[in-house]
Structure 1
C-alpha cells in the first residue's frame, strides 16, 4: 500500500478512536448527571411530602398526622413509597413499615432490611430514606430505587448502543475516508511522477462536486503544471524562433566578415553594414531577455499606483512629431478622471510606446492613429486604433508570438518582438490584451484591473 495512503488511513482510524473515547466520556458524564438528577428529584418529592405532613401536624395535631401518614402509605403503588410515624417511645403509630434494621440515621437501606406491611415492587432493591422530627414524633419516609434503576437501565442501554454504533460507524468511516484519501494522494503522486518523466501534459483528476482541500491543492498543482508546460513550450518555441529567425542574419554576418577577412583593405561600408547587423542581433537578444525577465514576474515588487493618463500623454508628446513627419495623424483622447492602475510605470510606458510605434510603422501615409485612455465598466481601458490596412482575422492571435511578422509587415523594419513584449507586460500587470477590427484598420485594447485605494 502507498505510504501516504497508510498515513491517511492511520490518521482516520486514530481520529475515529479519539471520537469514540470522547463519546464514552460524554456518555459517562450523561449517565452520572442523569443519576444525580433523578435522585435529587426523588429527594425533592420526599421533602415536599414532609412539608405537607408537617403543616398538617402543626395545624391539626397528631391524630390528623397519623391519618395522613396511613393514607399516603396505602395509596402508593406496591409500596414504592414507605412511611413510618414513630411515637416518643419508639412505637409505630402509622405507616406501611414495621421495622428498619441497621443504624437509625442513614440515606439508603437495602430492601432486605425493610419490613413492609404487604408486598412491594419486585424491582426495588433498596430505599432512599429521610428522617424528620415532628416535635416528639419521628417521621421516616423512603422511595424505592426502581425509578432510578429503570431510568439508568434505559439510559445505559441507549448509551452503550450509541457508543457501539459510533465505534462501528467511526471505524467504517475512517477506513472509507482513508482509502479515498489514499487513492487521491496516489493519483497526485502518480501525476507528479509522470511529470518528472517528462509528461508535462499529465494532470490530476479532480472531482468538481466535492471542492475539498485535496481538490483545491490538486487544482493549484494542475495550474502550476499548466504554467510549467506553457513555459517549456515557450522555451522550445523561443529556441525554434531563434534558430529560424536569427540563422539568416548570422549567416549573412559571417559571410560578410569572411569577405572582409579575405580583403587586403577593409571596406568601410562593409564594416558599417556588419556592425549594423551585429547591433540588430544584439537588440534581438536583449529584447528576448527583457521578455523573459518580465514573464518571470520579477518586476512586480516595483509596482506603484500610477495614473495611466500621464503615461499616455508622455507617449503622445514623444511620437506626435514623428507621426507628423510621416504624414500620419496621432490623436489623443483621455478621461477627465484619474485612471489609476497598479504597475511599473517604465514598463507601462514601454507597452504604450510599442503599440503606438507598431501602428506608425505598419500603416501608410494619411493614416489616423488614435490614443484613448478612459473608463469602461468601471475599469481603466487603453485603446490604440488606426485606420490602416488592419490585421487579418486569422493573424490576430499570432501577432503576439515572438518573431511573428505578417505578410504585410515583412518589408518594414523590426524584429517581430514588439507585440510579444506588449503581451508580456500586459500579463505581468494582470491586464487583458485584445485585437479587434477598427473598420478599417486595427484596434488594440488593454483592459487593466483597477488599482487598490
Structure 2
C-alpha cells in the first residue's frame, strides 16, 4: 500500500500543528514588537524630559547666554540629527539649535522631519517648553526605534522560515515512519485475508497509540484463529465421533429392512434406530446451543440475580437422584452473598450439567458438595466430589467439544457437557478451573460481582 506522503494523516497533522504554532509565534511576535516599541517610546520620552530639565535649569538666573550656549552644545554633539534642539526667543528668532524651523506647538508632539526643516524618512518625538518666554525644543528621531523594530521583524521572519522548514522536515519524517508502520499493518491484514491466520502485527517498544491499536488487532486475530481452529476441530470431531453412531444407525436400518423382507417384526431394530437418531439429534442441538452462547447474543438478557436460589433449586432436583445411587449431594451457601449479572436459565443449565456429570461418573458412596462463597471481589461457585477425578493432563482437554475420557466412553453422553459449561462461564465473564480434590475433582467458577 503506497500513499502520497503529502496526503498522509501524520504529515497533515504535523502541518496543522505547525501552522498552529506558527500562528502562536506570529501573535507572540506581534505582542513583543508592540511591547518593545512602547518601551522604546517611553524611554525616549524620559530621555527628552531629562534633557529638557537639564537645559531649563541653566536658565535659573535668567541668563540667556548660558541657556543659548547649553542648547548649542547639545545640538553640536548630535550626529545626523538623531536628536534635535532649538532655542527660540519670544519674537521667533532662532538663538541656537540644529534645525531651522519648528512647526509644532507647546508640549509633546510626534512630527515628520519636514516639520522641522529636515530631509529624512524619520519621525520625531519632540517636547516644547517655556523658559522666560523663550521656547526650548528637545526631540529624538525614530531612527533607533525603527532599526530595533526592523531587526525584531526580520528576526521573527527568519524564525518563521526556519520553523516552517523544520515543520516540513518533521512532517515528512513522521509521515514516512507512519507510512512504514501502516504498510506493515496492511501487509499483515493482506496475509490474514489470504488465510495466513498466524500473521501478527509487530509491536514496537514505543508502546504508542498505533502499538495499542495493533495489540487490539492482534488480540482479535488471536480470537479469530481460536474460533477457526475450534471450528476445524469441531468439524474433525463431528466427522470422527458421529461416524460410528451414523454407521450403527445405517446398519440398524438395513437390518430392519432385511427383517421386514423376511416377514418378521422389525420393531426392536426400529426402536434402536430411533434411539440412535435421537442421540445424534441431541448432539447437534448441543453444538448449536454452544455456538449460540459463544456468539454472545444471550448477554442482552442478563439481569442482576443471586446464584443462591439457582443452586438450591438444582439441589432439590438432584438430591433424591443422588440418594438412589447411594451418593450424597450437599449444599453450602454463605449468608449475604452479593448478586451477579447473568442469565438464570443458562446458569441453571451450567450447574445442572456439573451435578449430572458428578452423579454419572462417581460410584456409590461418593459425597458431592455444592458451595457458594465469597472469594475476594468475586462470587465463587464450587462443586467437588471424592470420586475418581480427572487426570491433570486431561483437565483442559475435557472442555473441547465431543472430547470424552476413555473411561467415560461406555457411559451415555455426547461429550459436550463441559464444553457447554465453559461457554456459559465465558459468557458471564467467569473464570473456570478444574482442580484436584484429593481425592476426586473440584470445579471452581469465579463470577464478577454485579
TM bin (shorter chain): 0.7 to 0.9
Counterpart Cα distance in 1 of 2:295 and 2:68: 97
C-alpha contact 1:46 1:141 (8 A) present in aligned 2? no
1:91-170 equivalence runs, <5 A: 91-92=93-94, 97-101=97-101, 103-104=103-104, 107-110=110-113, 126=122, 128-132=124-128, 134=130, 136-170=133-167
Residue 26 (structure 2) aligns with: 25
**1:341 matches 2:340:** yes
Structure 1 position 131, deviation (Å) = 3.6
Counterpart Cα distance in 1 of 2:371 and 2:171: 62
1:429-444 equivalence runs, <5 A: 429-444=428-443
Number of equivalences: 439
Residue 378 (structure 1) aligns with: 377
| Structure 2 unmatched runs, 5+ | none
Residue 121 (structure 1) aligns with: none
Structure 1 position 43, deviation (Å) = 5.5
Residue of 254, 257, 267 corresponding to 1:258: 254
Residue 355 (structure 1) aligns with: 354
Q: TM-score, normalised by structure 1?
A: 0.85
Counterpart Cα distance in 1 of 2:72 and 2:359: 113
Residue of 203, 209, 213 corresponding to 1:217: 213
Residue 230 (structure 1) aligns with: 226
Counterpart Cα distance in 1 of 2:73 and 2:43: 16
Structure 1 position 89, deviation (Å) = 2.1
Structure 1 position 165, deviation (Å) = 2.1
Counterpart Cα distance in 2 of 1:139 and 1:248: 125
SS at match of 1:263: helix
Counterpart Cα distance in 1 of 2:376 and 2:14: 53
Counterpart Cα distance in 2 of 1:72 and 1:386: 119
Bigger mean CA deviation after superposition, 47-56 or 235-244: 47-56
Residue 89 (structure 1) aligns with: 91
C-alpha contact 2:385 2:442 (8 A) present in aligned 1? yes
Residue 326 (structure 1) aligns with: 325
Counterpart Cα distance in 2 of 1:447 and 1:69: 105
Residue 186 (structure 1) aligns with: 183
Structure 1 position 385, deviation (Å) = 1.1
Distance change (3 Å), C-alpha of 1:88 and 1:314: farther
Counterpart Cα distance in 1 of 2:384 and 2:310: 17
Counterpart Cα distance in 1 of 2:62 and 2:447: 100
Structure 1 position 278, deviation (Å) = 1.0
C-alpha contact 2:37 2:145 (8 A) present in aligned 1? no
1:379-394 equivalence runs, <5 A: 379-394=378-393
Residue 196 (structure 2) aligns with: 199
SS at match of 1:332: strand
Residue 296 (structure 1) aligns with: 295
Counterpart Cα distance in 2 of 1:4 and 1:311: 62
Q: TM-score, normalised by structure 2?
A: 0.86
Residue 41 (structure 1) aligns with: 42
Structure 1 position 176, deviation (Å) = 0.4
Distance change (3 Å), C-alpha of 1:31 and 1:103: farther
Residue 2 (structure 1) aligns with: 2
1:305-324 equivalence runs, <5 A: 305-324=304-323
Counterpart Cα distance in 1 of 2:4 and 2:223: 27
C-alpha contact 1:125 1:145 (8 A) present in aligned 2? no
C-alpha contact 2:76 2:98 (8 A) present in aligned 1? no
Bigger mean CA deviation after superposition, 345-354 or 418-427: 345-354
Distance change (3 Å), C-alpha of 1:54 and 1:253: farther
Output one character per residue of 1:191-238: Cα deviation in whole Å (capped at 9) or x when no partner.
1111111111111112142322x2222222212211111111111111
Distance change (3 Å), C-alpha of 1:317 and 1:134: farther
C-alpha contact 1:16 1:171 (8 A) present in aligned 2? no
Counterpart Cα distance in 1 of 2:124 and 2:138: 8
SS at match of 1:352: helix
**1:402 matches 2:398:** no
SS at match of 1:242: helix
**Cα RMSD (Å):** 3.5
SS at match of 1:411: coil
Distance change (3 Å), C-alpha of 1:419 and 1:126: same
Counterpart Cα distance in 2 of 1:76 and 1:242: 114
Counterpart Cα distance in 2 of 1:31 and 1:88: 44
